[in-house]
Chains A and B, each alone.
Chain A
């Protein structure tokens, strides 16, 4: 934990106000640190709040959803309370984002080259020609074949993999320090996914940036992340280094997830483990631990009290009352 943290999120709470005056916490008090030059994973199932966390960091929340509490420290500034105008100069420049569905992230009526060039022209004073040359160079860096030709293509003329490469080029063009990748390979075939992940690793190496990788796929985490945060029902339930998390998962939810996934390699025997039940609704959370209704180890205490995140040694954090049996 000695490296400089690029981003420090503390107590982030993003809420959706409801008509009856109640609030639903979509992100419920999250602490998250992103060390410089590292890839941090945020894993969880649909609706757990992982994308909402990303959007909060980017300040891309759709009204009436808003950040109610917490701070996002980035170079001495608190992004959670920064005026929109200042946020705009950071967004896309120092912090940028790639999305799951590259087709909807791109404008269908503008050539991909112009869209990426636009990002440069918005933030820097350069001529159009210089900007174009940089775009073509970036296209080459992200492995787009025939970049001069592709510059003039429209998004619909490209395959899903190429579109995602365009989105990555757009996110990388201003050399951000921090990249948020929200399920960047979920819509792609495994063969293309492997290419995109290799590209992200290579770009991270050459640009020394930090990445927040949001995914539901533990295979992607194992491939690309240095540290992992597991999210469940709006909270982080476990945090550890990648190797530690995969070798010694502690939270019953993390354990369950790992046993529920069929493997491509290695031994596989018997039935798949299943986590019983479904995720509780954000509006009706259990009083105690949010996982207690699905947890095989739940006790009376779990139903009554909310467990906090505790350190079990070496920066391995877990939100669970259960004593660890070594």
Chain B
């Protein structure tokens, strides 16, 4: 078995709100292997972005541990943490607000290099090579972000994330703000970069079609907890958790013959994250829920071939 690049153990993040404590991420464990794309999917508010931010320590966890290459990140401070951070980067959803409008493209991409103490002459050389790798013409070096379209801005964001030669990139909805024709360009770019540099992606998305295209494995999240982790193909063809099935079934497909009757659709509303159901968090919306589900939290069980599911009544 390959050693994981990232090991997340019993990670939790609690926020205080007026209504009470919100367990945005509640006891989440998973491994991320080198060179793979692990997708993190779920509805808005399920905690997937919080989890992404915890992983690269933009947020401090309330509980739990994260190991990268065997090193416990939660114990790191100052210089050690900065060094570790240069090996993990983030690409954000909104290419309009994640780039500083006062800096030129060259300066934006060079910033992580400057922070890492790369000499000035070397910086420019590296920036130009980064721009080439993400498909930006070198003559755009002195332009400002507002002179670019959404797709090109996302390329700038990706070039910046690649600058420090990271191993892990957390992509938080990187194509959600883009039009379909541009989305395909960025997805193909990410795949190409991954192959070239053996990158590992944690790919956060609500778009199940995009996830199917880009990911090797998938983590399904509901109200702060993981329901299922499995190879992507298994999730789409024979999911174990009812929520996985319903999430995938609700996605509309651009095919008039498929949009059919066999789809299992979710009813009702998301339960309150302040006061989630005591047992399985999905039990109020699950057609298979029993008394056990209402009181006993299901444990994550191993079903073999890399499939894990937390459910008392799995589908297969």
Contact = CB atoms under 8 A, between A and B. Distances in A.
Interface stretch (A120-128, A258-266, A313-321): A258-266
Interface string B200-220: 000000101110111000000
B206 A260 contact: no
Contacts of A195: 265-267
Interface in A172-223: 189-195, 197-198, 216-223
A222 B254 contact: yes
Contacts of B255: 222, 246, 263, 265-266
Given A260-B181, A262-B213, A194 B256 contact: no
A276 to B, nearest CB: 8
B2 interface: no
B252 A262 contact: no
A193 B252 contact: yes
Q: Specify which of B181, B185, B208, B258 lies most central, judged by the most chain A CB atoms within 10 Å of its CB.
A: B181
A46 B265 contact: no
B270 interface: yes
B301 to A, nearest CB: 25
A194 B250 contact: yes
A45 interface: yes
A239 interface: no
B253 A217 contact: no
A190 B254 contact: no
Contacts of A265: 236, 253, 255, 258
Given A159-B269, A216-B179, A274-B181, A264 B259 contact: no
B212 A216 contact: no
Interface string A263-275: 1111010011111
B182 A190 contact: no
Given A46-B179, A194-B266, A278-B151, A262 B251 contact: no
A219 B266 contact: no
A243 interface: yes
Contact of B212 (A161, A218, A247, A264): A264
B208 A190 contact: yes
Interface residues of B, number: 42
A149 to B, nearest CB: 14
A264 B188 contact: no
Contacts, number: 128
B182 A272 contact: no
A206 to B, nearest CB: 19
A257 interface: yes
B90 to A, nearest CB: 23
Contacts of B268: 145
Report, as a range, how many residues of chain A touch the other chain: 35 or more
A190 B179 contact: no
B289 interface: no
Contacts of B183: 260
B147 interface: no
Nearest to B265: A194
A216 B253 contact: no
B184 A263 contact: no
Contacts of A11: none
A261 B258 CA distance: 15
Contact of A161 (B182, B210, B265, B269): B269
Given A189-B43, A189-B44, A262-B187, A218 B206 contact: no
A132 interface: no
Nearest to B248: A264
A219 B151 contact: no
A192 B247 CA distance: 10
Nearest to B237: A265
A192 B270 CA distance: 10
B254 A218 contact: yes
Contacts of A261: 180, 184, 209, 254
Contacts of A243: 256
A288 interface: no
A168 to B, nearest CB: 16
Interface string B231-270: 0000010000000001111111111101100010111111
B275 interface: no
A216 B247 CA distance: 21
Nearest to B249: A194
Interface of B: 43-44, 149, 151, 179-185, 187-188, 191, 206, 208-210, 212-214, 236, 246-256, 258-259, 263, 265-270
14 contacts: A190-B250, A194-B250, A194-B251, A195-B266, A217-B254, A218-B180, A219-B254, A219-B259, A222-B259, A247-B256, A261-B180, A262-B209, A272-B213, A275-B181
Top 3 closest pairs, chain A to chain B, by CB: A219-B252, A218-B254, A262-B213
Given A190-B43, A268-B212, A274-B181, 19 more contacts: A46-B179, A159-B270, A162-B269, A194-B252, A197-B252, A216-B180, A219-B259, A221-B254, A223-B252, A260-B180, A261-B209, A262-B214, A264-B209, A264-B236, A264-B251, A265-B236, A265-B255, A266-B253, A271-B188
